[in-house]
Structure 1
């Protein structure tokens, strides 16, 4: 596997996040006959049309519609992964992992451990998360920290088209179960994506999306775009370094610590509830290993501890945005 994501000699093409995930899936389906897609409405490309066209290209043996039962989807996929295939399961909305949590926590995550490493589970679980489209509380949550807390599962959450394609390919090739979280509001975010099918993004490797000197902002998914916009707005006043972690577990702690040692400050922007979340994990690692680099208390930008409202005005009120990031940046300066 070659990581040539930042190599300027690699040919690229402009894609959206949706197109990048689809192309990554297509390439892996072509490259490995053991790769299969399971999900609801796969014939039509599922809820957000990420897999549109793949059913026509690869047929009903490789791409299968499933009943509306997340427990059955994940349970069956764990079994097939343990016996030689590489299933990619689409769960529609991340909130629904509650239906199949036993299959995730006790089966996918623990099979390799319980069989002494003799059985591997090369399984990818795709799930769409995040608010912003008035989909109400049961279809708008950001729950990636919940899964990242489970030993035995890798968790990724791409923010750019290049990361989306590279990570879906790397996830499929992994011998471990991987949860692949997709923010529903960034499917149309576009950017340059390597066209070489050998290019992947290593799980556990973050990316500095914008170098800076004064403030470190670690931002995920939708909030990466907000952080980049704020960094542009503050340019000339405050120099903001923006890091996309890309993988939540394993986390590239070294890159974050190196940045904080330079800036002396830290802001974490993640669209999940602030309490007991990804924000707290990043802060803890920085305090444990880089406390004396900090010139100000780290700041968290996230969702208040409440379900996501249906009403657009209330949803807008609680979802974090660029203004929240800017206020956090100014607090640490």
Structure 2
């Protein structure tokens, strides 16, 4: 069975949608050079009228994509560095995402904002290692965070076909992930539908992005003593609360591993909702970056801020211990 890499999955999903629908086009900086490999070979395949090289003005071409969507096209805007999404935050959250409401439901804005390089990389510095998915979820923008190549393919495909703006973030630490697939595995994945990567009975471990793989590793390491269910929301907003409720209903315990800052991050929202609505035996735990974490230039200091496998395992053991498990 052939292997598919995460980056190749993004490339294939975008290529397949451009083949399928002539209204789909891609724009951004360095499209012709395909620096992220997402658009490799696209200029020759689709031509310069569907692979648009943009000037160094992110606010300008992000608003251009909104106009193109209003005119009946389906733009995919590729950004190469996470802070660029913050630079165009207003264009996405306050313009494109509100236009359907402001037009009384007359005009949708089907734009996909693709960030195939979100999150921490050692030595990238303060402005390159952000993970901004919680911000877009807070503002009600459909936001997806695939952890595997098949989910990257399926969620990007669905995002492009969606009539609303969708932010798609490919975590840096996932880009090298490879998966055995065949053609039948490459199908659209519905937004708002989570995934249980590993079934368990003792504790539900919610993980996002590359931390899904860390969570699975923790579950494997603890398998002889603790049965860990690994829950991947896949879509940060809308979140699959129903599937989480089913999982916590089985386990009664909850740990969240979230690659954003602790204060007001996604982990905080999951814990708050779980405390309000789910049948927890003990208070839930979370593992995240620290409050107000700003990644620096020194790789050693940078790495200290990142959630670790050891922290996740400790949190799992903690909720079991507090509930009297094994006593």
TM bracket, shorter-chain basis: over 0.9
User: Do residues 174 (structure 1) and 162 (structure 2) align?
Assistant: yes
CA spacing shift, 1:198–1:326, aligned 2, 3 Å? closer
Paired positions, count:
318
- Partner of 2:210: helix, strand, or coil? helix
For the residues of structure 2 that align with 1:274 and 1:83, how far apart are their CA atoms?
40
Unmatched 5+ residue regions in structure 2?
321-327
Residue by residue over 1:138-186, the C-alpha shift from the partner in whole angstroms, topping out at 9 and shown as x without a partner, is: 01011110011113x2100000011000000000000010000111121
Q: How does 1:191-230 map to 2 (within 5 A)?
A: 191-196=179-184, 199-230=187-218
Q: What is the aligned partner in structure 1 of residue 309 from structure 2?
A: 322
For the residues of structure 2 that align with 1:238 and 1:52, how far apart are their CA atoms?
44
Q: What is the aligned partner in structure 2 of residue 144 from structure 1?
A: 133
User: Do residues 57 (structure 1) and 45 (structure 2) align?
Assistant: yes
Q: What is the aligned partner in structure 1 of residue 260 from structure 2?
A: 272
My pick for the range that moved more, 185-194 or 17-26, is: 185-194
For the residues of structure 1 that align with 2:276 and 2:111, how far apart are their CA atoms?
33
Q: Which has the higher contact order (CA 8 A, sep 6+)?
A: 1
- Partner of 1:168: helix, strand, or coil? helix
For the residues of structure 1 that align with 2:237 and 2:148, how far apart are their CA atoms?
18
Residue 55 (structure 1) shift: 2.0
Q: What is the aligned partner in structure 2 of residue 165 from structure 1?
A: 153
Judge conservation of contact 2:154–2:186 (CA < 8 Å) in 1: no
Residue by residue over 1:69-127, the C-alpha shift from the partner in whole angstroms, topping out at 9 and shown as x without a partner, is: 21012100001001100000012122122321221122111111000010010100012
User: Do residues 303 (structure 1) and 292 (structure 2) align?
Assistant: no
Task: State the 4+ residue runs in structure 1 displaced beyond 4 angstroms.
Answer: none
Residue 13 (structure 1) shift: 4.1
For the residues of structure 2 that align with 1:222 and 1:258, how far apart are their CA atoms?
23
Residue 133 (structure 1) shift: 2.9
Residue 197 (structure 1) shift: 8.9
CA spacing shift, 1:82–1:129, aligned 2, 3 Å? same
User: Do residues 331 (structure 1) and 318 (structure 2) align?
Assistant: yes
- For the aligned residue pairs, the C-alpha RMSD in angstroms reads 1.3
Residue 194 (structure 1) shift: 4.9
For the residues of structure 2 that align with 1:194 and 1:300, how far apart are their CA atoms?
36
Q: How does 1:1-333 map to 2 (within 5 A)?
A: 13-46=2-35, 48-127=36-115, 128-151=117-140, 153-196=141-184, 199-290=187-278, 293-304=279-290, 305-333=292-320
For the residues of structure 2 that align with 1:82 and 1:24, how far apart are their CA atoms?
23
Residue by residue over 1:239-261, the C-alpha shift from the partner in whole angstroms, topping out at 9 and shown as x without a partner, is: 10001110000000011111111
CA spacing shift, 1:13–1:24, aligned 2, 3 Å? farther
Unmatched 5+ residue regions in structure 1?
1-11
- Partner of 1:122: helix, strand, or coil? coil
Residue by residue over 1:237-290, the C-alpha shift from the partner in whole angstroms, topping out at 9 and shown as x without a partner, is: 011000111000000001111111111111111110011010011112212221
**TM-score normalised by L of structure 2:** 0.94
